[in-house]
C-alpha cells in the first residue's frame, strides 16, 4: 500500500530535475552531493555551472582544488567539494582500460569519500535498482508523522532503525529508485516541516499524526544547543589594480582552501597631546602575516568575505 501509493503519486508530480532526464553515475553522484542539506532551487545554478566546467569525472579528477572550490563558492559545506575531487581522483585511478569502474552496490558507494549511508542508498537504488531505502531528513519527517515515531532522527541509529522498518516496503515496490525519490519528494513538496499539505498526500489515509491532528508534534524536537559566538575584526584593503588583501585558510576544517579577509586583534593604544588637539589612537595588529593582494574573482572566497566585498564595492 505505501509503495504503490508513493510510486503512483511520484509518477504524476516528480519535478523535471536535469539529472533525472539523463541519469548517469557522474551526474547522479554530483546532484546527490549538492542536494545534501541544500534545496533544489539553490542547487540548480551550481549544478549547471559545475557540469559546464567539469563535464566528466576525468575533467574533475584533473582539476585544481582551488578551481573546484571557486565553482562551489557560496553553496556552503565545502568539505563536499573537496571530497568530490578526492573521490573523482580515486575513481579515475581505478579505471578499467576501457571504462571507469563506478561503484554499484550501496556498500561500494559508501566507500567513496563524502558518501554516507543515505547518499549510498539513493545512488545504488536509482542507478542499479538496489532495494535499499534512503532515510534523510525529509523521509524521517514523513514517517515520524505516518507512524508517530518519537525517535531523535538527528542520530544515525534512529535513521538506521527507520531504514529497517522501510525495508519491507521497498521490497514491494516496482522501481526502487522511484520509491526512494518519491519518499524524498513527498517530504520536500508536501509533508513540509511547518505546513504539510495533507489533502495532497498519498499517505494521508494511513498517517497516524494526521488522524490525531498531531503532525506538529513529529518529528519530536530535541532542544537545540545555543551556538557560541565568535567575534572578529577584519580589514579591507584594495590596491590600485582592484585586488584585495586576502589570506588563504590553510588549516583543516570547514573552510580549508578558501580565501578570506585578514583579521586583526586589538593592540596597545596611544595618546599624544599636540598644541591644538589631543590624539587618541586605537591600534590593531594583524593575526597573520601571509596576506597577499588577489583578484577576488580568481580565488574561492568564504561566504562572509563575499558578502562584505559585495557590500563595500558594488
Ligand atoms: S498526511 Fe500530512 S502529516 Fe501525514 S505524511 Fe502526509 S502530509 Fe505528512
Task: Judge if the beta carbon of residue 70 lies within 6 A of ligand 1.
Answer: no
Tell me what pLDDT residue 97 has: 54
Tell me what pLDDT residue 289 has: 87
Task: Judge if the beta carbon of residue 2 lies within 6 A of ligand 1.
Answer: no
292 labelled catalytic = no
Task: Judge if the beta carbon of residue 207 lies within 6 A of ligand 1.
Answer: yes
pTM for the model stands at 0.84
Mean pLDDT check: name the lowest of 40-49, 94-103, 243-252: 94-103
Pocket test for ligand 1, best of 190, 193, 206 (most atoms within 8 A of CB): 190
Tell me what pLDDT residue 101 has: 75
Tell me what pLDDT residue 178 has: 95
pLDDT in tens, 152-162: 998 999 999 99
**pLDDT-derived band at 103, boundaries 50, 70, 90:** confident
Tell me what pLDDT residue 98 has: 52
Distance of alpha carbon 90 from alpha carbon 34, whole angstroms: 19
Q: The CATH number of 2-217 is which of 3.40.220.10, 1.10.340.30, 3.40.50.1370, 1.10.3720.10? A: 1.10.340.30
Could you identify the atom of ligand 1 that is nearest to the CA of residue 197?
A: 7
Task: Judge if the beta carbon of residue 196 lies within 6 A of ligand 1.
Answer: yes
Could you identify the atom of ligand 1 that is nearest to the CA of residue 190?
A: 7
Task: Judge if the beta carbon of residue 201 lies within 6 A of ligand 1.
Answer: yes
Rounded to the nearest integer, the mean pLDDT of the chain is 93
**pLDDT-derived band at 223, boundaries 50, 70, 90:** confident
Mean pLDDT check: name the lowest of 17-31, 129-143, 218-232, 294-308: 218-232
**pLDDT-derived band at 235, boundaries 50, 70, 90:** very high
Catalytic residue among 7, 32, 130, 260: 32
Distance 40 CA to ligand 1 centre (A): 21
Tell me what pLDDT residue 53 has: 97
Task: Give the mean model confidence (pLDDT) for residues 56-69.
Answer: 95
- What residue owns the CA closest to ligand 1's atom 8? 191
Write down the domain spans for the chain.
2-217, 233-313
- What residue owns the CA closest to ligand 1's atom 2? 198
Separation in Å, CA 28 to CA 18, 21, 120: 10, 11, 11
Looking at the chain, list the stretches that DSSP marks H as alpha helix, in order from N- to C-terminal side: 2-13, 18-21, 25-35, 40-53, 57-61, 65-72, 79-93, 106-109, 117-128, 137-146, 156-172, 176-189, 208-211, 303-313
Task: Give the mean model confidence (pLDDT) for residues 164-174.
Answer: 96
Task: Give the mean model confidence (pLDDT) for residues 75-96.
Answer: 88
Amino acid at each position: 500500500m505505501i509503495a504503490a501509493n508513493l510510486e503512483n503519486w511520484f509518477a504524476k508530480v516528480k519535478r523535471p530535475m536535469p539529472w533525472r532526464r539523463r541519469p548517469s553515475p557522474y551526474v547522479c553522484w554530483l546532484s546527490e552531493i549538492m542536494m545534501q542539506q541544500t534545496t533544489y532551487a539553490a542547487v540548480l545554478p551550481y549544478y549547471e555551472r559545475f557540469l559546464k566546467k567539469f563535464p566528466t569525472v576525468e575533467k574533475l579528477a584533473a582539476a585544481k582544488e582551488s578551481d573546484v572550490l571557486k565553482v562551489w563558492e557560496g553553496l556552503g559545506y565545502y568539505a563536499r567539494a573537496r571530497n568530490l575531487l578526492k573521490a573523482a581522483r580515486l575513481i579515475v585511478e581505478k579505471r578499467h582500460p576501457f571504462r571507469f569502474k563506478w561503484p554499484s552496490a550501496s556498500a561500494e558507494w559508501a566507500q567513496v569519500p563524502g558518501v554516507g549511508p543515505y547518499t549510498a542508498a539513493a545512488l545504488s537504488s536509482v542507478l542499479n535498482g538496489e532495494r535499499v531505502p534512503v532515510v534523510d531528513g525529509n523521509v524521517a519527517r514523513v514517517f515520524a508523522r505516518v507512524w508517530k515515531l518519537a525517535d531523535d532522527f538527528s542520530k544515525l541509529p534512529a535513521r538506521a532503525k527507520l531504514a529497517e522498518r522501510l525495508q519491507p516496503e521497498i521490497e514491494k515496490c516496482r522501481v526502487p529508485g522511484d520509491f526512494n525519490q518519491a519518499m524524498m519528494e513527498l517530504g520536500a513538496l508536501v509533508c513540509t516541516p511547518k505546513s504539510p499539505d495533507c489533502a495532497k498526500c498519498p499517505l494521508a489515509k494511513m498517517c497516524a499524526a494526521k488522524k490525531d491532528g498531531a503532525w506538529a508534534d513529529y518529528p519530536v524536537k530535541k532542544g537545540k544547543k545555543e551556538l557560541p559566538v565568535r567575534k572578529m575584526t577584519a580589514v579591507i584593503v584594495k590596491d590600485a589594480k582592484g585586488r584585495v588583501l586576502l589570506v588563504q585558510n590553510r588549516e583543516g576544517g570547514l573552510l580549508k582552501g578558501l580565501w578570506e579577509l585578514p583579521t586583526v586583534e586589538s593592540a596597545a593604544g596611544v595618546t599624544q597631546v599636540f598644541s591644538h588637539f589631543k590624539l587618541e589612537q586605537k591600534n590593531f595588529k594583524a593575526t597573520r602575516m601571509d596576506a597577499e593582494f588577489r583578484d577576488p574573482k580568481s580565488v574561492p572566497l568564504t561566504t562572509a568575505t563575499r558578502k562584505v566585498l559585495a557590500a563595500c564595492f558594488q
